[in-house]
Structure 1
């Protein structure tokens, strides 16, 4: 019996550190988060932005959507229909889409990001936005004709 008691005591002494190691740490009362431990929101949980294209200088229709993926943000245009132009560009615009043709001077001076140049003028398109693009800085998507400095159509993002 003496050997059994010694063995049981030895095993309990060996198990004590393991039991302590597996005990969860008490919850911290510190409410400040250290910058190096903050995590970015999962791209898959961010809500997509979308809007309907409307005509400004040219008959334009379709739907634009910006989706957030693990590989980066993607701007999609579905069901695009617009007129042919020599250099029709897709822009993210930092302001709301213009409502009239008179706003083209303001649009040309507004912060924007050229996403793509269209070579076809109807159909579905997807463009990966450049890494580091802060989508929250942009309020609309427009189709900009660089040669004539006019907005063919635009969509406010919601």
Structure 2
């Protein structure tokens, strides 16, 4: 019976050490990402005899004017979490992207990128996925149905600690 008790205690200690490493290691380990710009087509549309055949409709132009030229700066989050860098929107072949440049944030476990409406809780926003790295240039595809004039705050959120590590406001 003593051997079984020692085995259980040993397994619990190993489990505690693994969980502790998962929670603490991001504080002194950086993960750098350096993604290039999203793919943008260089093809030009040839003019035809019917100019309306290639002209975008008014709805498409309105959507593009709402999303082009949005940018912002990251600011520190709550507590002592530090975040800096720039955010900009980029129209690419496969959709609209948020691009983080010269990005740097305090590392932590379970970090995610969220779009939220100003004044709302992060968990009520739209997740763009896990943060790819705590330093460097990176791109995040924005879902087609998201209006960045409404969801204009970008948040770096830690699910494990339920804490905002940083945020930035998108503006024209």
Interval of TM-score (by shorter of Structure 1 and Structure 2): 0.5 to 0.7
2:77 aligned to which of 53, 56, 59: 56
Segments of 4+ moved more than 4 angstroms: 42-46
Q: Bigger radius of gyration, 1 or 2?
A: 1
Gap regions ≥5 residues in structure 2? 1-56
- Aligned in 2, Cα 1:56/1:130: closer, same or farther, shift over 3 Å? same
Distance apart, 1:44 and its partner CA: 5.7
Which residue of structure 2 lines up, in the alignment, with residue 40 of structure 1?
Answer: 60
- Aligned in 2, Cα 1:49/1:38: closer, same or farther, shift over 3 Å? closer
Verify the 8 A CA contact 2:114 2:122 in the aligned structure 1: no
Which residue of structure 1 lines up, in the alignment, with residue 100 of structure 2?
Answer: 77
Gap regions ≥5 residues in structure 1? 1-36, 97-105
Verify the 8 A CA contact 2:89 2:97 in the aligned structure 1: yes
Verify the 8 A CA contact 1:43 1:68 in the aligned structure 2: no
- Aligned in 2, Cα 1:38/1:153: closer, same or farther, shift over 3 Å? closer
Q: Give CA deviations for 1:36-65 in whole Å, capped at 9, x if unaligned.
A: x86421766553211100112311101111
Distance 1:108 1:51 in 2: 18
Distance 1:41 1:72 in 2: 15
How many residues were matched structurally? 112
Which residue of structure 2 lines up, in the alignment, with residue 87 of structure 1?
Answer: 110
Distance 2:102 2:158 in 1: 19
Distance 2:58 2:82 in 1: 47
Q: TM-score, normalised by structure 1?
A: 0.62
Q: TM-score, normalised by structure 2?
A: 0.57
